[in-house]
Structure 1
Amino acid sequence: MSIKAWPFGERPREKLLTSGAQSLSDAELIAVLFGKGVKGKSAVELAHDMLNELGTLREVVTVSEERFTSLKGIGRCSYAQFQAAFEIFRRNLEIQLTRQDAFHNVDDTKQYLQAKLRDCEQEKFALLMLNSQHQLIAFRVMFTGTINSAAVYPRELIKQVMKDNAAAVILVHNHPSGIAEPSHADIRLTSEIKSAMGMIDVPVLDHFVVGDKETISFAQRGLLS
């Protein structure tokens, strides 16, 4: 049955406009992005098919274009719409960090870093460049490695910090294995980078490790001493 034949208050788009996006199910949110269905299937039915095939909203926005468009009735235009929606979400998180203290708003910082790095298949090492109020200047991916390691060179980090005129930095890297627990090598590297940054009087405020289900803060763990 076409969504147009549904009672007005049950149609996803109208439901969103009258009751807010939070009132919609995952399938209804996806249906709004689809805009319309295909012959023989409504947008909501297509959305249910997608969730049954891929699993959760996270998979919907992080799956490859090839996998996304392999689903019957779903093409590249829909893939582009979903990627645009997810990028809007990420950029909104980034804007928040440019307006608040990234060091003391740990939960917001973790959410931002998860959106940036959690689904990367390779390990990436990045810096959050901060001003004197600890607001975000820039997010810089400095090194990209294999599935389980990335070579990090403190001298290159210092060059970028000076180029961005950062007053402080937060380190971050992801573990593609999904396990966020810091390794001994992570702890040793953090100490080396702290010493290097100390030479230019730029403090390292924290080091986050992004895993699949959690993001760990060195500062909260007492691992920065």
Structure 2
Amino acid sequence: MRSILRIDSSARSGTSAENRFGSHSRRLTDRFVARWRSHCPDDPIVSRDVGASPPKPVSGDWIHAAFTPAKDREAWMGEALAESDELVDELLSADIIVAGVPMYNFGMPAQFKAYIDNIVRVGRTFGFDRSRGDVPYWPLVPEGKTLVILSARGDYDYGPGRRLAHMNHVEPGVETPFAYIGITDVHRIAIEYDEFADQRLRASIATAEEAVDKLVRKLARPEAHATAA
């Protein structure tokens, strides 16, 4: 049994499968969860909608509290870190993190950046020790976790090696901090052509949905894929 943490960050409510103005990234996270339930109905799934309820941005008080050793914290520091602690606990409890992260102006939504700033925590998800010299940081998140990034873009050709890859700061911007805390097994799937709203968008949706189905089968039944390989 594995636990799934689903995170949605689109400002759009609903999915594009339900109405034309719905979210494509929510469409993919919806599909991932539905397909996962069909394979592993008893696995726990936790949903966190930072698009609808964004975490509070990191503040000066938050930084002060986070870098104060737990034994030395005052009461207000615990309050300042309470939301962050909840988010970190969810992350650490999950085996697979499914993140719906659409592209907004070439990067991730501010809501998801606030989430990242809350889960990259000294003493909880990464370690820090000046006595280690030039490499004072190390990841604290246990090995074995998987990150699935499900995205959507208005234009096209943002994938690795493609025409606009150099302008894509979504997946790289998500993968870097997650790798920093110890999560390096990453899968990417994206819908493109949203702003064109033509057959190319429909084809991209179909391709992305097929890729989600294939990925779920691979992750849900790794032993079958290992045998096939």
More relative contact order, 1 or 2 (CA 8 Å, 6+ apart)? 2
TM-score, normalised with respect to structure 1: 0.26
TM-score, normalised with respect to structure 2: 0.26
Give the structure with the larger helix fraction: 1
